[in-house]
């Protein structure tokens, strides 16, 4: 007999490696690709073609100047202050670090979007002159929690680089 009080999670049918010049990551093979509505560079993937708010999204922006470890505190201050301005925000995690020549900001939070509670996990990488923002978002907190294992897979396999990789990480 199945205990219905236990959390239910989606099953993984397989993963696809998305690799681009400046970033790479894995997502479930059956997720749908969405297009950024504002023509930004990057891509969006989600489990349901009819739910464009439950997604894993990547956006790349060339800042036009090289980012260094000396910039981390200033970048973090602006980033976290922006998150704190969201309606009814509750920040669960905030982190900043330098790994080699790469800077990273990370946060997990819930907020109200037009009276609908949403949950997000954002990692922002700074590499050379680029900002690569990866966002996992649930249209609701429950959808975020349900899809979290898939979001985790995409986030934790994410890599930022200068050339399109030709071999699978760890392969």
Which three-class secondary structure state does DSSP give residue 140? coil
Helical spans, DSSP H, in 37-140: 72-84
**Nearest to residue 15, comparing CAs of 2, 28, 5?**
28
* pLDDT confidence of residue 170: 64
Which three-class secondary structure state does DSSP give residue 117? strand
* pLDDT confidence of residue 11: 83
Average pLDDT, the chain: 91
**Whole-angstrom Cα distance, residue 42 to residue 168?**
20
* pLDDT confidence of residue 39: 85
pLDDT band at 154 (very low <50, low <70, confident <90, very high): very high
Q: Tens digits of per-residue pLDDT, 92-106? A: 999 999 988 899 999
pLDDT band at 78 (very low <50, low <70, confident <90, very high): very high
Q: Which residues of 24-45 are buried (b: 16+ CB within 10 A; e: fewer)?
A: bbbbbeebeeeeeeeeeebbbb
* pLDDT confidence of residue 7: 74
pLDDT at residue 107 tops 90 = yes
pLDDT at residue 142 tops 70 = yes
Please report, for the chain, the start and end positions of each structural domain, with discontinuous segments joined by +: 15-160
As a whole number, mean pLDDT of residues 139-166 equals 91
As a whole number, mean pLDDT of residues 135-153 equals 96
pLDDT band at 126 (very low <50, low <70, confident <90, very high): very high
The sign of the CA dihedral 101, 94, 144, 153 is positive
**Whole-angstrom Cα distance, residue 28 to residue 16?**
6
Q: Tens digits of per-residue pLDDT, 17-69? A: 999 999 999 999 999 999 888 989 999 999 999 999 999 999 999 999 999 99
**Whole-angstrom Cα distance, residue 53 to residue 65?**
32
pLDDT at residue 2 tops 70 = no
Q: Which CATH architecture fits 15-160?
A: 3-Layer(aba) Sandwich (3.40)
């Amino acid at each position: 007999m199945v205990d219905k009080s236990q959390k239910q999670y989606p099953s993984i049918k397989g993963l696809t490696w998305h690799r681009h010049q400046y970033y790479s990551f894995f997502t479930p093979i059956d997720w749908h690709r969405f297009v950024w509505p504002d023509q930004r560079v990057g891509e969006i993937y989600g489990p349901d073609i009819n739910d464009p708010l439950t997604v894993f999204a990547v956006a790349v922006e060339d800042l036009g100047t090289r980012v260094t470890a000396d910039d981390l505190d200033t970048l973090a201050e602006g980033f976290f202050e922006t998150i704190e301005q969201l309606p009814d925000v509750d920040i669960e995690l905030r982190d900043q670090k330098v790994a080699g020549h790469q800077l990273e900001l990370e946060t997990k939070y819930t907020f109200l979007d037009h009276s609908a509670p949403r949950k997000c996990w954002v990692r922002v990488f700074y590499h050379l002159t680029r900002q690569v923002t990866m966002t996992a978002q649930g249209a609701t907190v429950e959808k975020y929690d349900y899809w979290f294992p898939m979001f985790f897979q995409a986030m934790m396999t994410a890599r930022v680089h200068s050339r399109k990789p030709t071999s699978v990480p760890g392969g």
